[in-house]
Amino acid sequence: MAVLEFNPLNPLLAKKSWLIYNRDHRKLLVVDGRIAFLGGVNLDWRSFLDNDEVNAVVIGREFSAKMKTMFDQDLAASEAIDQDRWEKRPLTMRLKEWMARLICG
């Protein structure tokens, strides 16, 4: 397992080299090829205490393999975002990010 730094204001400022992909917001974790966690819950205290979100835990190698295959297919169909693309994102996206920072702190 690896823990990576993430900077939500500029994800590409991380000190380690890793890629950001433009994909959906769902969460998926497959453990040892036999337990799959999926859903929308964020791993922070605000989400645990205030948000009404749900995750599912499914135990089984067949289901876990299907989830991993689906993740791999989604990742293959998504685009990596590099520094140049990040800096050239549309003004509308920058405004949405600014509003989210203003509202969420």
pLDDT tens digits for range 11-49:
666 656 667 777 767 788 899 999 999 887 776 777 778
Instruction: Give domain status of residue 46, yes or no.
Output: yes
| The pLDDT value given to residue 18 | 64
Instruction: Give domain status of residue 50, yes or no.
Output: yes
Q: How would residue 63 be classed by pLDDT, with cut points 50, 70 and 90?
A: very high
CA dist., res. 46 & res. 53, Å (int): 11
Instruction: Give domain status of residue 95, yes or no.
Output: yes
| The pLDDT value given to residue 36 | 93
Instruction: Give domain status of residue 70, yes or no.
Output: yes
Q: How would residue 50 be classed by pLDDT, with cut points 50, 70 and 90?
A: confident
Token pair 């990596």 is found at 80
pLDDT of 8 above 80: no
Instruction: Give domain status of residue 2, yes or no.
Output: no
Instruction: Give domain status of residue 55, yes or no.
Output: yes
Amino acid at 102: L
Token pair 């397992």 is found at 1
Instruction: Give domain status of residue 12, yes or no.
Output: no
Task: Report how many domains make up the chain.
Answer: 1
Provide the pairing of β-strand 27-31 with 79-81.
Answer: unpaired
Range of the domain at 67: 18-104
Instruction: Give domain status of residue 11, yes or no.
Output: no
